Chains A and B, each alone.
Chain A
Amino acid sequence: MQLSTKHLLGIRDLLASDIQTILDTATQFKEVLQRPIKKVPTLRDVTIVNLFYENSTRTRISFELAEKRLSADTVNFTASGSSVSKGESLLDTVNNILSMKVDMVVMRHSASGAPHFLAKHIPAAIVNAGDGINEHPTQALLDAFSIREKLGSLEGKKVAIIGDIMHSRVALSNIYLLKKMGAEVMVAGPPTLIPLYITEAFGIPVEYNLRRALEWCDVANVLRIQLERQNQVLFSSLREYSLAYGINRKILDSLSKEILIMHPGPINRGVELDSDAADSKQSIILQQVENGVAVRMAVLYLLAGKATNL
Protein backbone atom coordinates (compact mmCIF):
# COMPACT_ATOMS: atom_id res chain seq x y z
CA MET A 1 0.00 0.00 0.00
CA GLN A 2 2.34 2.72 -1.26
CA LEU A 3 1.81 5.53 -3.68
CA SER A 4 4.05 5.65 -6.73
CA THR A 5 4.75 9.33 -6.14
CA LYS A 6 6.30 11.44 -3.40
CA HIS A 7 4.12 14.48 -4.09
CA LEU A 8 0.53 14.99 -5.15
CA LEU A 9 1.02 17.52 -7.93
CA GLY A 10 -1.78 16.38 -10.19
CA ILE A 11 -3.98 13.46 -11.11
CA ARG A 12 -2.01 13.32 -14.35
CA ASP A 13 1.00 11.77 -12.53
CA LEU A 14 -1.02 9.17 -10.63
CA LEU A 15 -1.56 5.54 -11.58
CA ALA A 16 -5.04 4.03 -11.42
CA SER A 17 -3.77 1.92 -8.50
CA ASP A 18 -2.72 5.10 -6.63
CA ILE A 19 -6.21 6.53 -7.04
CA GLN A 20 -7.71 3.28 -5.83
CA THR A 21 -5.42 3.29 -2.77
CA ILE A 22 -6.32 6.89 -1.90
CA LEU A 23 -10.07 6.24 -2.23
CA ASP A 24 -9.89 3.01 -0.19
CA THR A 25 -7.85 4.74 2.52
CA ALA A 26 -10.35 7.61 2.56
CA THR A 27 -13.15 5.12 3.29
CA GLN A 28 -11.38 4.17 6.53
CA PHE A 29 -10.86 7.82 7.44
CA LYS A 30 -14.51 8.55 6.82
CA GLU A 31 -15.30 5.96 9.48
CA VAL A 32 -12.86 7.69 11.87
CA LEU A 33 -14.78 10.94 11.33
CA GLN A 34 -18.00 9.30 12.55
CA ARG A 35 -16.45 8.42 15.93
CA PRO A 36 -17.10 10.42 19.11
CA ILE A 37 -13.39 11.34 19.07
CA LYS A 38 -12.56 12.25 15.49
CA LYS A 39 -8.84 12.52 15.95
CA VAL A 40 -6.09 9.94 15.45
CA PRO A 41 -2.48 10.36 16.60
CA THR A 42 -0.97 9.13 13.33
CA LEU A 43 0.91 12.24 12.15
CA ARG A 44 1.81 13.74 15.51
CA ASP A 45 5.47 14.08 14.51
CA VAL A 46 4.72 15.85 11.22
CA THR A 47 4.58 19.59 10.61
CA ILE A 48 2.60 20.86 7.64
CA VAL A 49 2.47 24.36 6.21
CA ASN A 50 -0.62 25.52 4.32
CA LEU A 51 0.68 27.92 1.75
CA PHE A 52 -2.21 29.83 0.20
CA TYR A 53 -1.32 32.39 -2.43
CA GLU A 54 -4.95 32.54 -3.51
CA ASN A 55 -8.27 32.84 -1.69
CA SER A 56 -10.03 29.71 -0.55
CA THR A 57 -12.68 28.71 1.97
CA ARG A 58 -13.49 25.04 1.55
CA THR A 59 -10.12 23.75 0.49
CA ARG A 60 -8.20 25.55 3.22
CA ILE A 61 -10.56 24.64 6.04
CA SER A 62 -10.79 21.10 4.75
CA PHE A 63 -7.01 20.66 4.62
CA GLU A 64 -6.60 22.25 8.03
CA LEU A 65 -9.22 19.99 9.59
CA ALA A 66 -7.69 16.95 7.90
CA GLU A 67 -4.27 17.88 9.30
CA LYS A 68 -5.61 18.52 12.79
CA ARG A 69 -7.56 15.28 12.84
CA LEU A 70 -4.36 13.45 11.99
CA SER A 71 -2.65 15.28 14.90
CA ALA A 72 -0.15 17.05 12.64
CA ASP A 73 1.20 20.48 13.62
CA THR A 74 0.01 23.10 11.17
CA VAL A 75 1.17 26.54 10.13
CA ASN A 76 -0.99 28.75 7.95
CA PHE A 77 0.41 31.15 5.46
CA THR A 78 -1.58 33.54 3.31
CA ALA A 79 0.09 35.75 0.74
CA SER A 80 -1.75 38.87 1.82
CA GLY A 81 -0.25 40.23 5.00
CA SER A 82 3.07 38.43 4.49
CA SER A 83 6.47 39.44 3.15
CA VAL A 84 5.28 38.46 -0.33
CA SER A 85 3.99 42.01 -0.57
CA LYS A 86 7.59 43.16 0.11
CA GLY A 87 8.70 41.24 -2.98
CA GLU A 88 10.01 37.97 -1.56
CA SER A 89 10.11 35.21 -4.17
CA LEU A 90 8.16 31.96 -3.85
CA LEU A 91 11.28 29.85 -3.44
CA ASP A 92 12.76 32.18 -0.79
CA THR A 93 9.50 32.20 1.14
CA VAL A 94 9.23 28.42 1.11
CA ASN A 95 12.90 27.83 1.96
CA ASN A 96 12.56 30.15 4.93
CA ILE A 97 9.54 28.24 6.14
CA LEU A 98 11.21 24.88 5.56
CA SER A 99 14.29 25.90 7.56
CA MET A 100 11.94 25.92 10.55
CA LYS A 101 11.62 22.13 10.05
CA VAL A 102 8.43 21.67 8.09
CA ASP A 103 7.81 18.24 6.54
CA MET A 104 5.00 18.88 4.09
CA VAL A 105 3.66 21.77 2.05
CA VAL A 106 0.04 22.14 1.00
CA MET A 107 -0.04 24.78 -1.64
CA ARG A 108 -2.46 26.86 -3.69
CA HIS A 109 -1.11 29.31 -6.25
CA SER A 110 -2.57 31.31 -9.10
CA ALA A 111 0.30 30.31 -11.41
CA SER A 112 -0.09 26.94 -13.13
CA GLY A 113 2.91 24.74 -12.37
CA ALA A 114 3.96 26.54 -9.17
CA PRO A 115 3.90 23.32 -7.07
CA HIS A 116 5.82 21.45 -9.81
CA PHE A 117 8.48 24.14 -9.69
CA LEU A 118 8.72 23.87 -5.90
CA ALA A 119 8.92 20.07 -6.04
CA LYS A 120 12.12 20.38 -8.06
CA HIS A 121 13.77 22.65 -5.53
CA ILE A 122 12.76 21.59 -2.04
CA PRO A 123 12.89 18.26 -0.19
CA ALA A 124 9.46 18.45 1.50
CA ALA A 125 6.43 16.55 0.17
CA ILE A 126 4.06 18.83 -1.72
CA VAL A 127 0.30 18.58 -2.05
CA ASN A 128 -1.23 20.71 -4.77
CA ALA A 129 -4.37 22.44 -3.50
CA GLY A 130 -5.00 24.07 -6.87
CA ASP A 131 -2.57 25.73 -9.27
CA GLY A 132 -3.86 28.31 -11.74
CA ILE A 133 -5.88 26.68 -14.50
CA ASN A 134 -3.91 23.43 -14.31
CA GLU A 135 -5.06 20.94 -11.65
CA HIS A 136 -6.90 20.61 -8.36
CA PRO A 137 -6.21 16.96 -7.57
CA THR A 138 -7.82 16.64 -4.13
CA GLN A 139 -11.08 18.07 -5.52
CA ALA A 140 -11.14 15.42 -8.26
CA LEU A 141 -10.39 12.73 -5.67
CA LEU A 142 -13.22 13.82 -3.40
CA ASP A 143 -15.57 14.06 -6.39
CA ALA A 144 -14.64 10.50 -7.35
CA PHE A 145 -15.05 9.36 -3.74
CA SER A 146 -18.52 10.91 -3.59
CA ILE A 147 -19.60 9.32 -6.88
CA ARG A 148 -18.26 5.95 -5.77
CA GLU A 149 -20.07 6.27 -2.46
CA LYS A 150 -23.39 7.00 -4.20
CA LEU A 151 -23.17 4.77 -7.27
CA GLY A 152 -20.91 1.95 -6.03
CA SER A 153 -18.11 2.38 -8.55
CA LEU A 154 -16.71 4.70 -11.17
CA GLU A 155 -16.31 2.20 -13.97
CA GLY A 156 -18.75 2.76 -16.82
CA LYS A 157 -20.45 5.70 -15.10
CA LYS A 158 -21.25 8.69 -17.28
CA VAL A 159 -20.13 12.03 -15.89
CA ALA A 160 -20.85 15.34 -17.61
CA ILE A 161 -18.70 18.28 -16.57
CA ILE A 162 -20.72 21.38 -17.29
CA GLY A 163 -19.77 25.02 -17.44
CA ASP A 164 -16.52 26.95 -17.63
CA ILE A 165 -14.15 24.18 -18.73
CA MET A 166 -11.55 26.58 -20.07
CA HIS A 167 -10.66 28.23 -16.77
CA SER A 168 -11.28 25.23 -14.57
CA ARG A 169 -8.58 23.21 -12.84
CA VAL A 170 -11.35 21.09 -11.34
CA ALA A 171 -12.44 20.06 -14.83
CA LEU A 172 -8.94 19.03 -15.89
CA SER A 173 -8.25 16.96 -12.77
CA ASN A 174 -11.66 15.34 -13.04
CA ILE A 175 -11.13 14.40 -16.69
CA TYR A 176 -7.76 12.78 -15.92
CA LEU A 177 -9.16 10.90 -12.95
CA LEU A 178 -12.42 9.68 -14.47
CA LYS A 179 -10.66 8.45 -17.58
CA LYS A 180 -8.04 6.59 -15.52
CA MET A 181 -10.77 4.92 -13.49
CA GLY A 182 -12.77 3.79 -16.50
CA ALA A 183 -15.66 6.27 -16.32
CA GLU A 184 -17.09 8.00 -19.38
CA VAL A 185 -16.63 11.78 -19.44
CA MET A 186 -18.31 14.51 -21.46
CA VAL A 187 -17.77 18.25 -21.25
CA ALA A 188 -20.62 20.65 -21.89
CA GLY A 189 -20.96 24.41 -22.01
CA PRO A 190 -20.92 27.35 -24.39
CA PRO A 191 -18.31 27.05 -27.18
CA THR A 192 -16.43 30.07 -25.85
CA LEU A 193 -15.78 28.33 -22.52
CA ILE A 194 -14.61 24.99 -23.91
CA PRO A 195 -11.02 24.75 -25.17
CA LEU A 196 -10.79 23.77 -28.84
CA TYR A 197 -8.22 21.02 -28.33
CA ILE A 198 -10.16 19.13 -25.67
CA THR A 199 -11.50 16.34 -27.89
CA GLU A 200 -8.09 15.94 -29.51
CA ALA A 201 -6.27 15.87 -26.18
CA PHE A 202 -8.58 13.58 -24.24
CA GLY A 203 -10.80 11.89 -26.80
CA ILE A 204 -13.94 12.95 -24.93
CA PRO A 205 -17.17 14.22 -26.49
CA VAL A 206 -18.20 17.88 -26.30
CA GLU A 207 -21.84 18.91 -26.05
CA TYR A 208 -23.10 22.44 -26.50
CA ASN A 209 -26.69 21.65 -25.57
CA LEU A 210 -27.37 21.37 -21.85
CA ARG A 211 -30.44 19.15 -22.14
CA ARG A 212 -28.64 16.59 -24.32
CA ALA A 213 -25.73 16.50 -21.86
CA LEU A 214 -28.07 15.96 -18.91
CA GLU A 215 -29.99 13.23 -20.74
CA TRP A 216 -26.71 11.42 -21.42
CA CYS A 217 -25.15 11.48 -17.95
CA ASP A 218 -25.53 9.73 -14.58
CA VAL A 219 -23.74 12.54 -12.77
CA ALA A 220 -23.60 16.24 -13.63
CA ASN A 221 -20.58 18.00 -12.16
CA VAL A 222 -21.53 21.67 -12.48
CA LEU A 223 -18.69 24.16 -12.45
CA ARG A 224 -18.67 27.71 -11.25
CA ILE A 225 -18.58 30.56 -13.73
CA GLN A 226 -15.23 32.03 -12.75
CA LEU A 227 -15.72 35.71 -13.23
CA GLU A 228 -12.42 36.59 -11.60
CA ARG A 229 -10.45 34.61 -14.18
CA GLN A 230 -12.05 36.16 -17.22
CA ASN A 231 -10.50 39.25 -18.65
CA GLN A 232 -12.60 39.12 -21.77
CA VAL A 233 -16.32 38.75 -22.16
CA LEU A 234 -16.97 35.17 -23.25
CA PHE A 235 -20.74 35.27 -23.04
CA SER A 236 -23.04 38.25 -23.26
CA SER A 237 -24.47 38.23 -19.75
CA LEU A 238 -24.88 36.06 -16.68
CA ARG A 239 -28.59 36.09 -17.33
CA GLU A 240 -28.12 34.69 -20.79
CA TYR A 241 -25.72 32.03 -19.50
CA SER A 242 -28.26 31.08 -16.89
CA LEU A 243 -31.02 30.77 -19.49
CA ALA A 244 -29.00 28.46 -21.72
CA TYR A 245 -26.87 26.52 -19.19
CA GLY A 246 -28.40 27.10 -15.77
CA ILE A 247 -29.63 23.92 -14.07
CA ASN A 248 -32.93 24.17 -12.24
CA ARG A 249 -35.70 21.96 -10.88
CA LYS A 250 -37.70 22.20 -14.10
CA ILE A 251 -35.03 20.76 -16.34
CA LEU A 252 -34.09 18.07 -13.81
CA ASP A 253 -37.73 16.95 -13.50
CA SER A 254 -38.11 16.76 -17.26
CA LEU A 255 -35.25 14.24 -17.65
CA SER A 256 -35.95 10.53 -18.15
CA LYS A 257 -33.91 9.55 -15.07
CA GLU A 258 -32.73 11.01 -11.78
CA ILE A 259 -29.16 12.22 -12.04
CA LEU A 260 -26.74 13.30 -9.31
CA ILE A 261 -25.79 16.97 -9.08
CA MET A 262 -22.31 17.93 -7.93
CA HIS A 263 -20.60 21.30 -7.61
CA PRO A 264 -17.10 22.06 -6.30
CA GLY A 265 -18.29 25.33 -4.74
CA PRO A 266 -18.68 28.19 -4.25
CA ILE A 267 -22.03 28.20 -6.06
CA ASN A 268 -23.21 31.23 -7.99
CA ARG A 269 -26.87 30.66 -7.12
CA GLY A 270 -29.13 31.53 -9.98
CA VAL A 271 -26.31 31.40 -12.53
CA GLU A 272 -25.04 27.86 -13.13
CA LEU A 273 -27.27 26.28 -10.51
CA ASP A 274 -30.63 27.34 -9.07
CA SER A 275 -31.41 26.89 -5.39
CA ASP A 276 -34.23 24.44 -6.13
CA ALA A 277 -31.66 22.14 -7.77
CA ALA A 278 -28.69 22.85 -5.49
CA ASP A 279 -30.63 22.11 -2.29
CA SER A 280 -32.59 19.11 -3.58
CA LYS A 281 -32.05 15.49 -2.64
CA GLN A 282 -30.40 14.86 -6.00
CA SER A 283 -27.61 17.21 -5.00
CA ILE A 284 -24.60 15.77 -3.12
CA ILE A 285 -22.79 19.07 -2.80
CA LEU A 286 -22.57 19.02 1.00
CA GLN A 287 -21.54 15.36 1.01
CA GLN A 288 -18.70 16.36 -1.31
CA VAL A 289 -17.50 18.86 1.29
CA GLU A 290 -17.83 16.28 4.06
CA ASN A 291 -15.89 13.70 2.06
CA GLY A 292 -13.21 16.27 1.31
CA VAL A 293 -11.79 15.98 4.83
CA ALA A 294 -11.57 12.18 4.68
CA VAL A 295 -9.96 12.24 1.23
CA ARG A 296 -7.41 14.86 2.29
CA MET A 297 -6.60 12.86 5.43
CA ALA A 298 -5.93 9.86 3.18
CA VAL A 299 -3.64 11.88 0.89
CA LEU A 300 -1.66 13.36 3.80
CA TYR A 301 -1.41 9.98 5.54
CA LEU A 302 -0.14 8.22 2.42
CA LEU A 303 2.35 10.97 1.52
CA ALA A 304 3.62 11.48 5.07
CA GLY A 305 4.89 7.90 5.03
CA LYS A 306 7.30 9.06 2.35
CA ALA A 307 8.09 12.40 3.94
CA THR A 308 9.99 10.72 6.78
CA ASN A 309 12.30 8.84 4.41
CA LEU A 310 13.97 12.08 3.36
Chain B
Amino acid sequence: MKTILTEKELGLTIQRLSHQLLENHLSFQDLVIIGIQPRGIYFSDRIVQQINEQIKPAKITYGKLDNTFYRDDVRQGLHTLNQTDMLFSVENKTVILVDDVLYTGRTIRASMDALLTFGRPAKVELCILIDRRFSREVPIQADFVGRSIDTIITQRVKVLWKERDGKEEVVLL
Protein backbone atom coordinates (compact mmCIF):
# COMPACT_ATOMS: atom_id res chain seq x y z
CA MET B 1 0.00 0.00 0.00
CA LYS B 2 1.38 3.34 -1.05
CA THR B 3 0.03 6.73 -0.01
CA ILE B 4 -0.63 9.03 -2.96
CA LEU B 5 -2.07 11.97 -1.02
CA THR B 6 -1.96 12.50 2.74
CA GLU B 7 -4.84 14.13 4.56
CA LYS B 8 -3.13 17.53 4.38
CA GLU B 9 -2.30 17.20 0.68
CA LEU B 10 -5.83 16.05 -0.05
CA GLY B 11 -7.25 19.13 1.69
CA LEU B 12 -4.97 21.42 -0.33
CA THR B 13 -5.84 19.71 -3.60
CA ILE B 14 -9.58 20.07 -2.94
CA GLN B 15 -9.05 23.74 -2.09
CA ARG B 16 -7.08 24.29 -5.27
CA LEU B 17 -9.72 22.56 -7.42
CA SER B 18 -12.60 24.58 -5.96
CA HIS B 19 -10.70 27.81 -6.64
CA GLN B 20 -10.00 26.63 -10.17
CA LEU B 21 -13.70 25.93 -10.70
CA LEU B 22 -14.60 29.41 -9.47
CA GLU B 23 -11.90 31.01 -11.60
CA ASN B 24 -13.21 29.31 -14.72
CA HIS B 25 -16.90 29.98 -14.08
CA LEU B 26 -17.37 33.57 -13.11
CA SER B 27 -21.14 33.33 -13.41
CA PHE B 28 -22.24 30.56 -11.09
CA GLN B 29 -25.98 31.22 -11.67
CA ASP B 30 -26.00 28.82 -14.57
CA LEU B 31 -23.58 26.42 -12.98
CA VAL B 32 -24.57 23.03 -11.58
CA ILE B 33 -22.33 20.65 -9.67
CA ILE B 34 -23.21 16.98 -9.70
CA GLY B 35 -21.47 14.37 -7.56
CA ILE B 36 -21.42 10.84 -8.92
CA GLN B 37 -22.62 8.04 -6.65
CA PRO B 38 -21.44 6.18 -4.73
CA ARG B 39 -17.96 7.53 -3.85
CA GLY B 40 -17.81 10.77 -5.81
CA ILE B 41 -20.26 12.49 -3.48
CA TYR B 42 -17.80 12.85 -0.59
CA PHE B 43 -15.44 14.73 -2.89
CA SER B 44 -18.27 16.84 -4.36
CA ASP B 45 -19.61 17.62 -0.85
CA ARG B 46 -16.26 19.21 -0.01
CA ILE B 47 -15.96 21.07 -3.32
CA VAL B 48 -19.47 22.51 -2.92
CA GLN B 49 -18.82 23.50 0.68
CA GLN B 50 -15.70 25.41 -0.33
CA ILE B 51 -17.37 27.12 -3.27
CA ASN B 52 -20.38 28.13 -1.17
CA GLU B 53 -18.02 29.70 1.34
CA GLN B 54 -16.49 31.83 -1.42
CA ILE B 55 -19.76 33.00 -2.97
CA LYS B 56 -21.74 33.62 0.27
CA PRO B 57 -24.65 34.20 0.67
CA ALA B 58 -25.39 32.62 -2.70
CA LYS B 59 -25.45 28.85 -3.02
CA ILE B 60 -24.48 26.74 -5.95
CA THR B 61 -27.01 24.25 -7.39
CA TYR B 62 -25.88 20.83 -6.29
CA GLY B 63 -27.13 17.33 -7.09
CA LYS B 64 -26.14 13.70 -6.74
CA LEU B 65 -26.49 11.22 -9.55
CA ASP B 66 -26.63 7.42 -9.61
CA ASN B 67 -25.80 5.91 -12.99
CA THR B 68 -26.49 2.22 -12.28
CA PHE B 69 -29.30 1.87 -14.84
CA TYR B 70 -27.09 3.33 -17.56
CA ARG B 71 -23.93 1.26 -16.98
CA ASP B 72 -22.81 -0.94 -19.86
CA ASP B 73 -22.17 -3.77 -17.36
CA VAL B 74 -25.53 -3.47 -15.60
CA ARG B 75 -26.60 -6.93 -16.78
CA GLN B 76 -23.38 -8.65 -15.69
CA GLY B 77 -24.34 -9.12 -12.08
CA LEU B 78 -26.48 -6.80 -10.04
CA HIS B 79 -25.22 -3.47 -8.87
CA THR B 80 -26.26 -1.78 -5.67
CA LEU B 81 -28.46 1.20 -6.34
CA ASN B 82 -27.80 4.56 -4.76
CA GLN B 83 -29.94 7.59 -4.25
CA THR B 84 -30.28 10.09 -7.07
CA ASP B 85 -30.93 13.55 -5.71
CA MET B 86 -31.60 15.92 -8.61
CA LEU B 87 -34.44 18.29 -7.84
CA PHE B 88 -33.80 20.55 -10.83
CA SER B 89 -33.47 20.48 -14.60
CA VAL B 90 -30.05 20.84 -16.22
CA GLU B 91 -31.51 22.40 -19.39
CA ASN B 92 -29.04 25.00 -20.73
CA LYS B 93 -26.87 24.83 -17.61
CA THR B 94 -23.15 24.27 -17.39
CA VAL B 95 -22.76 21.01 -15.53
CA ILE B 96 -19.62 19.95 -13.70
CA LEU B 97 -19.55 16.23 -13.01
CA VAL B 98 -17.46 15.39 -9.95
CA ASP B 99 -15.99 11.96 -9.19
CA ASP B 100 -13.09 10.70 -7.09
CA VAL B 101 -11.19 8.46 -9.54
CA LEU B 102 -11.13 8.48 -13.35
CA TYR B 103 -10.03 5.08 -14.63
CA THR B 104 -11.60 3.43 -17.70
CA GLY B 105 -14.02 6.33 -18.28
CA ARG B 106 -17.06 4.00 -18.41
CA THR B 107 -18.58 5.43 -15.23
CA ILE B 108 -18.47 8.93 -16.70
CA ARG B 109 -19.96 7.72 -19.98
CA ALA B 110 -22.87 6.17 -18.08
CA SER B 111 -23.24 9.28 -15.93
CA MET B 112 -23.52 11.49 -19.04
CA ASP B 113 -26.31 9.24 -20.34
CA ALA B 114 -28.08 9.47 -16.98
CA LEU B 115 -27.57 13.23 -16.90
CA LEU B 116 -29.37 13.73 -20.23
CA THR B 117 -32.63 12.46 -18.71
CA PHE B 118 -32.69 15.68 -16.68
CA GLY B 119 -32.49 17.97 -19.72
CA ARG B 120 -29.96 19.14 -22.30
CA PRO B 121 -27.06 20.92 -20.62
CA ALA B 122 -25.27 23.74 -22.44
CA LYS B 123 -21.95 22.21 -21.49
CA VAL B 124 -20.65 19.30 -19.43
CA GLU B 125 -17.27 19.37 -17.72
CA LEU B 126 -15.48 16.84 -15.59
CA CYS B 127 -13.65 17.40 -12.32
CA ILE B 128 -11.64 14.45 -10.98
CA LEU B 129 -9.55 14.00 -7.86
CA ILE B 130 -7.29 11.19 -9.11
CA ASP B 131 -6.72 10.59 -12.82
CA ARG B 132 -5.33 7.13 -13.62
CA ARG B 133 -3.98 8.18 -16.98
CA PHE B 134 -3.25 5.85 -19.93
CA SER B 135 -5.94 3.42 -18.75
CA ARG B 136 -8.97 4.75 -20.61
CA GLU B 137 -11.30 2.41 -22.50
CA VAL B 138 -13.46 5.20 -23.92
CA PRO B 139 -12.37 8.65 -25.20
CA ILE B 140 -13.11 10.70 -22.06
CA GLN B 141 -10.75 13.17 -20.37
CA ALA B 142 -11.11 15.37 -17.31
CA ASP B 143 -11.14 19.20 -17.40
CA PHE B 144 -10.01 19.62 -13.80
CA VAL B 145 -7.62 17.12 -12.23
CA GLY B 146 -6.35 16.86 -8.66
CA ARG B 147 -3.47 14.50 -9.30
CA SER B 148 -2.51 12.39 -12.32
CA ILE B 149 -0.89 9.06 -11.57
CA ASP B 150 0.45 6.10 -13.57
CA THR B 151 -0.92 2.75 -12.53
CA ILE B 152 -1.10 -0.79 -13.84
CA ILE B 153 -4.34 -2.69 -14.25
CA THR B 154 -3.89 -4.91 -11.17
CA GLN B 155 -3.55 -1.90 -8.87
CA ARG B 156 -6.44 -0.16 -7.18
CA VAL B 157 -6.72 3.46 -6.17
CA LYS B 158 -8.83 4.12 -3.12
CA VAL B 159 -9.86 7.51 -1.80
CA LEU B 160 -10.73 7.32 1.90
CA TRP B 161 -13.11 9.79 3.53
CA LYS B 162 -13.58 10.52 7.22
CA GLU B 163 -17.37 10.08 7.30
CA ARG B 164 -17.20 6.76 5.49
CA ASP B 165 -13.80 5.20 6.19
CA GLY B 166 -12.68 6.90 9.41
CA LYS B 167 -9.66 8.61 7.87
CA GLU B 168 -8.87 10.82 4.94
CA GLU B 169 -6.20 9.95 2.36
CA VAL B 170 -5.60 8.51 -1.10
CA VAL B 171 -3.83 5.16 -1.34
CA LEU B 172 -2.63 2.79 -4.06
CA LEU B 173 -3.40 -0.86 -3.28
Listed in ascending order, the chain A residues whose CB lies under 8 Å from chain B are 1-2, 24-25, 28, 31-32, 35-37, 39-42, 45, 302, 304-305, 308
Contacts and interface: CB of A to CB of B under 8 A. Distances in A.
B69 A37 contact: no
Contacts of B117: 35-37, 39-40
B84 A31 contact: yes
Contact of B81 (A28, A45, A305, A308): A28
Interface string B63-85: 00010111000110111111110
Contacts of A36: 89, 117-119
B113 interface: yes
A64 B86 CA distance: 26
B82 to A, nearest CB: 8
By secondary structure, the A interface counts as loop
A90 B69 CA distance: 34
Nearest to B87: A34
A41 B70 contact: yes
Given A25-B81, A28-B83, A28-B84, A40 B75 contact: no
6 closest A-B pairs by beta carbon, nearest first, are A40-B69, A37-B117, A28-B81, A42-B69, A305-B78, A1-B80
Contacts of A28: 66, 68, 81-84
Name the residue in B74, B79, B84 with the highest tally of chain A Cβ atoms < 10 Å from its Cβ.
Answer: B74
24 contacts: A1-B79, A1-B80, A24-B81, A25-B81, A28-B81, A28-B82, A28-B84, A32-B69, A35-B117, A35-B118, A36-B119, A37-B116, A37-B117, A37-B118, A39-B117, A40-B69, A40-B117, A41-B70, A41-B113, A42-B70, A42-B74, A45-B75, A305-B75, A308-B75
B78 A2 contact: yes
A290 to B, nearest CB: 18
Name the residue in A25, A304, A305 with the highest tally of chain B Cβ atoms < 10 Å from its Cβ.
Answer: A305
Contact of B78 (A1, A37, A39): A1
A304 B75 contact: yes
A24 B83 CA distance: 10
Contacts of B83: 28, 31
Given A1-B79, A31-B83, A37-B118, 9 more contacts: A1-B78, A24-B81, A25-B81, A28-B81, A28-B83, A28-B84, A36-B89, A37-B116, A305-B78
A253 B70 CA distance: 48
Contacts of B69: 32, 40-42
Nearest to B110: A41
Nearest to A40: B69
Nearest to B81: A28
Contacts of A41: 69-70, 113
A45 B66 CA distance: 21
Nearest to A41: B70
Contacts of B119: 36
Interface in B77-115: 77-84, 86, 89, 113
B74 A302 contact: no
A36 B88 CA distance: 10
B111 to A, nearest CB: 13
